[in-house]
Structure 1
Amino acid sequence: MDFNEIPVDRLEPGVLIEVRANYRNAGIFAWPEKALIIGQKLAAGTITPGQIIEITRAEEAIAYFGRGSIGAEQVAFFKKANRNTPLSIMALADAGGAVKATGTFTFVGAVQAASTIRFKVGGRQVRITALTTDNVTALATKLAAVINADLDMVATAVAAAGVVTVTSRHGGEVGNEIDLRVDTKNEPIPAGLTITVVAMSGGSGNPLVQSALDAIANTWFTKLTTPWNDATNMAALAEWLRVRYLATSKLDCHGFVFKRGTFGELSTFGALTNNAFLTTGGLKKSPTSAWSIAASLMGIAAFHLTNDPARQLRSLVLPGVEAPDPVDQFLDTENDLLLRTGISTFDCLSDGSVVISRVITTYKTSSLGTADRAWLDIMVPATMSRIRYDWATYVSLMYPRSKLVDDDTDGANVQRFNGDEDPGTAVVTPKRMKASWAARCKLYGENVWIEDVTRTVKESSFARSNSDRNRLDGRPQVQIVGNLMVFAQALEFQV
């Protein structure tokens, strides 16, 4: 019998009872889900770049990032989708010399009948009352005033001679993502008046995310999103996520970065990375900013993949995310092609909401450049992370101080007595470790994370290293459960 607290040579009489946990029949260990938003802050934001703060309420982000900041909007959309997962934030300020994106609304003509005109800036609605006495200069002045009155808007405006110039509050390419539109779904533009919209552009000089990633190199986070989708930042994030998943790191984290764009632009964006731990996506001309869509999806994924990492996310609604106009929605054939380039896809419903179609990673080819779908769906890394975490936790708790011996030796059976089926944990052998693996796989199978348990356990192997007698090598096998994504049929009628 092995004891941790009772000496083997004690002479003093007494009843000594050592209390300890036996993890032999422990269920699945809880997954410590923890999300991180790295956002862009304004000068008024109180958070220091590199500082990590856990928050529980969306309104806290307003003070930390600054009102009207991208970071505050990211948090708001995450919290709409997920109020349960622990959320931390980090921030980067505008890069030195960054240029702010601008766009315009231009009024031409005259209002023939008083009416309300609705606009959207970055998905936030503003409206003005247009009177027959208002000339284009007056209309532009009104619009600029209501834009500036919305302190949570990620842009500001100035008016001059019938033109409203909208400027991102933040510098960098990220400002080009802000959507500008006249919202004619409910009310048309009044007769006699035309309003021309020039999309946001000209922003350049995003912050570099690498400094934030370096600050959390050894910190546990399972989900992460940033608003910067330029090639430099995407490459840095992809490499950071890859290293986190290595066996020597075991700090599994999944990233979410989105972009607003056409079919061609999103195809190019998806091709930037080839990473099993990064999800990219986007919509064409959605009123909702790309960073908000990414934060919303991360919230959904963090909640539902924690509940069941092997279950697809299809049909789940992204709260607060607005669908593009029907003319700007991707066709089924375009969505299929986008999936092949590493872009996750979504369905747009008639009520203007957006639901998940298929969430994938950007992994497309092996290290040899051959097409490979092994890591295609987000459920694959999610499930393997859960199994790896559970198995490593179980082994650490079951065999924290075990001696290692070969199978079928005297030491291998030293703990067995009186027919006891529990051999204890002082000694471990390859066969004993395989039995432990089989027991855990039974739990994974009962949770329907994996299938064909009997076969994969049989194919799993554990062996003591020939070169290091203190090392046990293993090659455990699993087959991740499938999901019903395609239902192909031939519906025939009899003649």
Structure 2
Amino acid sequence: MAISFDNIPATLRNPGTYIEFNNELAGASSTMFKVAVAGQRLASGSQAAGIPVRVTDPSQAMALFGQGSMLAAQCEAFLNANTDTEMWAIALDDDTNGTAAVGSITVATAPVSAGTLALYVGGVRISVGISAGDDVATVATSIAAQINAALDLPVTATSSAGVVTVTARHKGEVLNGLDLRASFYDEAMPAGLTLTFAALSGGAGNPDVAVALDAMGDEWFNWLVCPYTDTANLVQVETELGDRFGPMRQIGCRAFVAFSGTHGETGTFGSNRNNPHVTCMSTGTSPTPTYLVSAINAAVAAKSLAIDPARPLQTLVLKGMLAPSRHERWSNSERNLLLFDGISTFTVGSDGTCRIERQITMYQQNSSGLSDASYLDICTPETLERIRYEQRLMISQQYPRHKLASDGTQYGAGQAIVTPQIIRGQLLSLYRTMELKGWVEAYDGYAEKLIVERDIDDANRVNWRDTPNLVNQLRITAGKQQFII
């Protein structure tokens, strides 16, 4: 009997017709992409630190991680931009040795007429009622009361002698720079009222992101939202993601971070990093905190990359991100410089909508320290990841329990035997399929260079070397117009 059966025995004498099912040729595949969001919780949350939990609703995140917590806000920001991608959250505790950031709002002069103050804390609008007879101390007390009434805010407030002290709920560096301002949308201020603001600062001691990385284990998370940009944590992220991308684990993941600072500070930060699995969005003076921008950016990118890893992300709306003031937005030339520093950029429309301009990785140099653009755009590692997955799926699905023979072996039809030449044909067929999907191009060159052979030292092993030509993205068009008069 030449045909290889999986379940029907050869020693069968009972009369009947026996038919078994085998899915090796079915070819159907389905991938559920997943995002891990790391962030700090509050003691009021019910979820223990370091244990991944799937989150599908902002109210669920609030209960799990505490109202006003960083992680609850990250989950809400992600779900606001993307409810299609499976999201898991990993809570971290504050560093017990850390300090909380502190900022202030000083009421410089009292109002002379009643009105409503439009106050913005980290980009969140708070309305403060002002009466004509309020003195500076009364106004400060009203501001503090409204801040404390907004339980979703990442800060609490106290007031004394016309000064509102704003303190972060969490310890650590992430809330440094949290924006405090009035009238973001040019709302009218009560006449006579003037305020001065000092953004939060002095926060120190981020949690150890290794807790989140360990919690991910060998589960395949395609993307990671990381709120930390301190060197110690980034080195751990880079190391872990490099290992996950490697051939022994093959569960690659891209991390999304965000950086707030001046143009010079942002460029310096980017220039000091070099990794193809971390992408950093510059925020400039956007009122939206960096830990929320990283979540928003990951949500928007993940939704598109899951559909097509080779399609560029440019022009996608960063839903929930507020733009810097008009006079503080970086020019085209300034953004271009950042794109040479490993920093991703965004543009702002006339209506204030923030859109991805170019999503790049932080990879900038090869092992020799020379400039290298091979992993410049996030589409490159994302597409490579998908190609590898499809190749692995094809082999594991079609040849799960096959015998291996050399090319030219005269085995019976229906035998569960595979040869290097058969695998070569399957790789070529798969390449055609991926070409139709728009992931690769230049089939003839791929076929010419594809090598599939039996290992000379291990008769149970097949080796191959292929050279997929990844489809590129239309990013720049240039023309030269020679006019005639």
TM bucket normalised to smaller: over 0.9
Residue in structure 1 matched with residue 81 of structure 2 by the alignment: 81
Change beyond 3 A, Cα 1:330–1:403:
same
Q: Which residue is equivalent to 1:379? A: 379
Q: Which runs of 5+ in 2 are unaligned?
A: none
- Give, as a single letter, the amino acid of the residue that structure 2 aligns with 1:94: D
Give the 5 Å matches for 1:241-390.
241-390=241-390
AA partner of residue 297 (structure 1) = N
Task: Summarize deviations over 1:344-380 as a string: whole Å, max 9, x none.
Answer: 1101112222111111111111122111111111111
Unaligned regions of 5+ residues in structure 1, if any?
417-423
- Counterpart-to-counterpart distance in 1, 2:269 and 2:233: 12
Find the counterpart in structure 1 of residue 445 from structure 2: 455
TM-score by length of structure 1 reads: 0.94
* Residue 61 of structure 1: aligned partner: 61
Question: Residues 322 and 352 of structure 1 are in contact (CA less than 8 Å); yes or no, is this contact kept in structure 2?
Answer: yes
Which letter does structure 2 place at the counterpart of 1:72? A
Find the residue that maps to 2:256 and give its secondary structure: strand
CA contact (8 A) 1:179 1:200 kept: yes
Paired letter, 2:113: A
Decide whether the 8 Å contact of 2:177 with 2:199 is kept in 1.
no
Match of 1:428 in 2: 418
Q: Please tell me whether residue 474 in structure 1 is matched to residue 464 in structure 2.
A: yes
Question: Is the CA contact 1:70–1:154 (under 8 Å) kept in the aligned structure 2?
Answer: yes
Match of 1:42 in 2: 42
C-alpha displacement at 1:289, in angstroms?
Answer: 0.9
Partner of 1:192 in structure 2?
192
Distance 1:360 1:425 in 2: 48
- The 1:198–1:100 alpha-carbon spacing in structure 2 relative to 1, beyond 3 Å, is same
What displacement does 1:431 show? 1.2
Secondary structure class of the residue paired with 2:440:
coil
- Root-mean-square deviation over aligned CA pairs: 1.5
Alignment map for 1:8-47 (pairs within 5 Å): 8-23=10-25, 26=27, 29-47=29-47
SS at match of 1:318: coil
CA distance in 2, matches of 1:366, 1:436: 33
SS of equivalent to 1:340:
coil
Q: Which residue of 1 aligns with 2:483?
A: 493
1:104, 1:199 within 8 Å by CA — same for their partners in 2? yes
Per-residue deviation, residues 168-226 of structure 1 (Å, max 9, x unmatched): 00001112042111225332444433211111100001101012211222122111112
Secondary structure in 2 aligned to 1:467?
A: coil
| TM-score, with length taken from structure 2 | 0.96
Q: Quick check: 1:101–1:168 contact (8 Å CA) kept in 2?
A: yes
- Separation of aligned partners in 1, 2:352 and 2:154: 22
SS at match of 2:72: helix
Q: CA offset at residue 133 of structure 1?
A: 0.8
Which stretch shows the higher mean deviation, 62-71 or 219-228? 219-228
Name the amino acid aligned to 1:344: S
Structure 2: how far apart are the matches of 1:133 and 1:476? Answer: 78
Partner of 2:112: 112
In 1, the alpha carbon distance for the partners of 2:399 and 2:24 equals 11
Q: Which amino acid aligns with 2:55?
A: I
Residues 420-465 of structure 1 deviation map (CA, whole Å, 9 limit, x = unaligned): xxxx572122111110001101110001111112221221111111
SS, match of residue 276 in structure 1: coil
- 1:128 Cα offset (Å): 1.8
Residue 58 of structure 2 aligns to a residue in which SS?
coil
1:32, CA displacement in angstroms?
Answer: 2.4
CA 1:13 to 1:111, structure 2 compared with 1: closer, same or farther past 3 Å?
closer
Q: Deviation of residue 229 (structure 1)? A: 1.5
Give yes or no for contact 1:270–1:281 (8 Å, CA) kept in 2.
Answer: no
Partner of 1:59, secondary structure, is helix
Q: Is the aligned partner of 1:4 residue 2:6?
A: yes
Kindly provide the amino acid, as one letter, of the partner of residue 336 in structure 1.
Answer: N
In structure 1, C-alpha distance between the alignment counterparts of 2:415 and 2:63, rounded to whole Å: 52
Q: Does the 8 Å CA contact 1:437/1:457 hold for their aligned counterparts?
A: no
Superposed structure 1 runs of 4+ greater than 4 Å apart: none
Contact 1:457-1:478 within 8 A present in 2 as well = no
**Aligned equivalents of 1:180, 1:298: Cα separation in 2:** 25
SS for the counterpart of 1:221 is coil
1:196 and 1:362 map into 2 onto residues whose CA distance is 37
- The Cα of 1:122 is off from its aligned counterpart by 1.0
Amino acid at match of 2:18: L
CA distance in 2, matches of 1:19, 1:197: 70
